[in-house]
Amino acid sequence: MAGFQGLLHLHLFVIALSVLLLIARYGLQMANSDKVNHRFFKAMPHAVDTCIILTGIGLIMVSGVMPFTEAGRWLTEKLSCVLAYFALGYFALHMCNNKVLKTFAFLGALGWLVMAAQLAMTKVPFLG
């Protein structure tokens, strides 16, 4: 059980770090800062998001709850939310030139993350 708790806390820490990096990069881009091109902001988000995936896989293996099964429907939806968070975050930071569209994509990414958190806490799927 201690291994699960440690892995869970690591997972939550890297999620918080990912959100902080997304907010920082978004803020720097909105301010037209050159700091957004710093090597730290180019490499660290990829490492952190990889850690989210790896700790998530570890939690799946330790807990035994499998996505794409009847018992793991909430986890399947959570994975979809996390993929949407990654996609909208990428869209907001790399593909949008318009600040309004960038803002909507950024807020959408945070919304998907909140939905993933809700699923993780309640373990009740939204889609039935």
Q: Which pTM was predicted?
A: 0.93
Judge contact between 7 and 55, C-beta under 8 A.
yes
Encoded amino acid at 90, one letter: Y
pLDDT in tens, 62-115: 999 999 999 999 999 999 999 999 999 999 999 988 999 999 999 999 999 999
